[in-house]
A and B are shown apart, each in its own frame.
Chain A
Amino acid sequence: MSALVIEGLSRNFGGLRALSNVSFSVEAGERRLIIGPNGAGKTTLFNLLSGVFKASSGRISLFGRDVTGLSMHERARMGLARTFQITNLFPRLSVMDNLLIALQAGAPGAFSLTRRMRDQTVLHAQADALLNQWGLASIAMRAAREISYGEQRQVDLILAMAMQPRVLLLDEPMAGLSAAEVVRVTGMIRSLPREMTILLIEHDMDVAFELADRIAVLHQGCLIAEGDGPTIRAHPQVSEIYLGVE
Chain B
Amino acid sequence: MNRQQQLAIAGIAGAAVLLAMPWLFGSYYLGLATKMIIFALFAMSLDLLIGYTGLASLGHAAYFGVASYATGLLALRLGWGVGWALPAGVLVAGLTAALFGLLALRARGSYFLMITLALSQVLWGIAFGWRSLTGGDDGLPEVPRPDLGLPWSFADNTPFYYFTLAVAVVSTWLLMRVVASPFGQSLRGIRESETRMLALGYDTWRYKFAAFVLAGLFAGVAGVLYVYYNRFVSPDYIHVARSAEVLLMVILGGAGSLFGPALGAALIVLFENIVSGYTERWLLVLGVVYVLVTLFAPDGITGVVRRLRQRKAGQT
Contact = CB atoms under 8 A, between A and B. Distances in A.
**Direct contact, A vs B (beta carbon within 8 Å):** yes
Nearest to B179: A117
Nearest to A100: B185
Interface stretch (B150-158, B202-210, B243-251, B264-272): B202-210
B309 interface: no
B193 A89 contact: yes
A105 B200 contact: yes
Interface string A72-115: 11001100011010001111110001001110111001111111
Given A93-B192, A115-B181, A116-B180, A101 B186 contact: yes
A24 B188 CA distance: 38
A117 B182 contact: yes
B195 interface: yes
B200 A163 contact: yes
Interface string B141-164: 000000000000000000000000
A115 B182 contact: yes
Contact of A113 (B181, B189, B198, B206): B181
Task: Give the most central of A77, A115, A117: most B CB within 10 Å.
Answer: A117
B237 to A, nearest CB: 28
A116 B206 contact: no
A190 interface: no
B183 interface: yes
B182 A93 contact: no
A55 interface: no
Given A93-B192, A111-B207, A116 B202 contact: no
Contacts, number: 97
A113 B200 contact: no
Contacts of B181: 112-117
A153 B31 CA distance: 55
A127 interface: no
B189 A101 contact: yes
Contacts of A104: 182, 185-186
Contacts of A71: 198
Given A93-B192, A110-B182, A73 B201 contact: yes
Contacts of B188: 90, 93, 97
Contact of B177 (A76, A101, A116, A163): A116
Given A73-B204, A76-B199, A114 B185 contact: no
A117 B183 CA distance: 9
Contact of A88 (B185, B195, B201): B195
18 contacts: A73-B197, A73-B198, A73-B204, A82-B199, A84-B199, A93-B189, A104-B185, A105-B200, A105-B202, A110-B182, A110-B183, A110-B186, A111-B210, A113-B178, A115-B181, A117-B181, A117-B185, A160-B199
Given A82-B199, A113-B181, A117-B184, 16 more contacts: A73-B197, A81-B199, A84-B195, A88-B193, A89-B192, A89-B196, A90-B188, A90-B189, A93-B192, A101-B197, A109-B182, A110-B186, A113-B184, A116-B177, A116-B180, A160-B199
Interface of A: 50-52, 71-73, 76-77, 81-82, 84, 88-93, 97, 100-102, 104-106, 109-118, 120, 159-160, 163
